[in-house]
Structure 1
Amino acid sequence: MRLEHSPSPNHDARRHKVDLLVLHYTGMQSGQAALDRMRDPEAKVSAHYMVWEDGRIVQLVEDSRRAWHAGVSSWNGDDDLNSRSIGIEIVNGGHDFPLPGGALPPYPDVQIDAVISLAQTLVTRHDIPQSRVVAHSDIAPKRKIDPGEHFPWPRLAAAGIGLWPEEASGAGCVWMGGDPGGLNRQLGAIGYDISDVSAALRAFQRRFLPDAVTGLADARTLRRLAHVAEAYSGTSTSSPQA
């Protein structure tokens, strides 16, 4: 894996050991615009790496330093995620710069291959648990939606990057009401901040039910939530309620 180097001044000292990998899209009109912004000291934003559409990888901040990419965020009760994480920006216009007609711009195969190669290196280097490979939207559900519902999480999981339990079929064992805390517990078991449950649920759907980002706790969402929470927690989820 070859890296280009384009240093950013936007970093400071870590306060925690790295144990989190955060994936973003740039959400700008071009990769160059994103790179220029992350290298601008006035912008006060950065990431450790940026992956271009053609698979080129640029390192902006050394892994040992705290890049400024996560903002106000939390996961599994941890905060100051900039200190705990490596941030990868993936060049993609996302929701801010969709294709003509409104579709989200695809991630080219060569770009995703590069993201996988980089992520495999980082997960191994820093011993990052698979449950702590996250989207920006996962850790900041009230304000972020990247890398978007069009990001190919199953493809990464097949390469050993992040968790992707297959979607359960049939009724399954799900929380269907009668226990108002059940939904919260399952979102929390995955790692979401549940101070705004609706936002956390949308973030969950964006990651694990990308064709149904509604914020509604329908039967399919609850079934999927129970399955994913079980995979993340390693324990059985709550019993079904009629």
Structure 2
Amino acid sequence: MRFSPLLSAFLLLAGCAGDLQIDKSYSSRGQDSREQFIVLHYTSTDLPRSLELLTRSDEVSSHYLIGDSPATVYQLIDETRRAWHAGDSEWNGRTWLNSSSIGIELVNRGYIQTGQGRLWYPFSEKQIDALIVLLKDIMQRHGLKPGAIVGHSDIAPQRKVDPGPLFPWKRLADAGLIPWPDAHAVSAWRMRFAARLPDIAWFQNQLGRFGYKVPRHGVLDQETRNVIAAFQMRYRPALFNGEPDAETAALLAVLNNDKS
């Protein structure tokens, strides 16, 4: 049987591909996990609706979902694949974090708007217990260090507020998962800053050092306030009004000094 030159070339290439041998006896030292961050979210709705949104939509998805009652952990996407959870985002200079992060959604209604402001919904103890076990497992497998865990509000402070001010970041710190400032050091810095508060450029620089995308023009605009509020929700959730004050400055100073 005779074949055309084009078909003969195709069959030859197909045969070569089928015979491909890959030697895996060498390994480069210069490598780490593609996953550099873990991003925490709340779903703003109940479990059935959360599962529907995260499994049937082409626009939003997440690697994991943790129910509220019971605190079941659902894996919706393999960690080797990209999920659509972070969107337009930035942390430590890295942008569009879908490609370098694992997304975890927690079933939580977020907040409702009332005449007295936003009423936030708490997370269940068992839900956070399950989250901590999951986080430890992910961080161990990917070789991630404390500080790799961020909230959606950290990486997109101009448009997101989840996981919100009732998310217990201190519990993650107590489990060794995120850095937490020493209370005595914060108190000492707060007294210093109460006498003389740094200017806005200082706050912007410190927030940028910590990881946030923030303006560097020295003006207290709404964008800067949103970033301050995101930081406060994480480390000073009792008051997250976006105002640069002595306690916020002290928290930033201690955390960034610990990073040095």
- Normalised by the shorter chain, which TM-score bucket? 0.7 to 0.9
TM-score normalised by L of structure 2: 0.77
Deviations 1:77-126 (A, max 9, x none): 1012001100000111112489xx96422211111100000000011111
- The count of residues paired between Structure 1 and Structure 2 equals 214
TM superposition outliers: structure 1 runs of 4+ over 6 Å: none
1:139 aligns with 2:155: yes
Deviations 1:30-82 (A, max 9, x none): 1110110011134x100000001122100000000010000100001101200
CA distance in 2, matches of 1:115, 1:184: 31
**1:29-48 alignment runs, 5 A limit:** 30-42=46-58, 44-48=59-63
Unpaired segments of 5 or more residues in structure 1?
Answer: 1-15, 236-242
Aligned-pair CA distance for 1:150: 0.2
CA distance in 1, matches of 2:192, 2:118: 37
Aligned-pair CA distance for 1:164: 1.8
Deviations 1:171-219 (A, max 9, x none): 3554944654211111011100003321110100011110011100011
Q: Give the structure with higher Rg (CA).
A: 2
Relative to structure 1, the CA distance from residue 97 to residue 64 in structure 2 (aligned partners, 3 Å threshold; closer, same or farther) is farther
User: 1:73 touches 1:80 (CA, 8 Å); kept in 2?
Assistant: yes
Aligned-pair CA distance for 1:228: 2.1
Note the aligned Cα RMSD (angstroms): 2.1
Q: What secondary structure is seen at the aligned counterpart in 1 of 2:87?
A: coil
Which structure features the higher share of helix residues? 2
**1:1-242 alignment runs, 5 A limit:** 17-28=34-45, 30-42=46-58, 44-53=59-68, 54-96=70-112, 103-167=119-183, 168-170=186-188, 171-172=190-191, 174=193, 176-177=196-197, 179-195=199-215, 196-231=223-258, 234-235=259-260
Of 67-76 and 124-133, more deviation after overlay is shown by 124-133
Unpaired segments of 5 or more residues in structure 2?
Answer: 1-32, 216-222
CA distance in 2, matches of 1:178, 1:203: 19
User: 2:112 touches 2:118 (CA, 8 Å); kept in 1?
Assistant: no
TM-score normalised by L of structure 1: 0.82
Aligned-pair CA distance for 1:23: 0.6
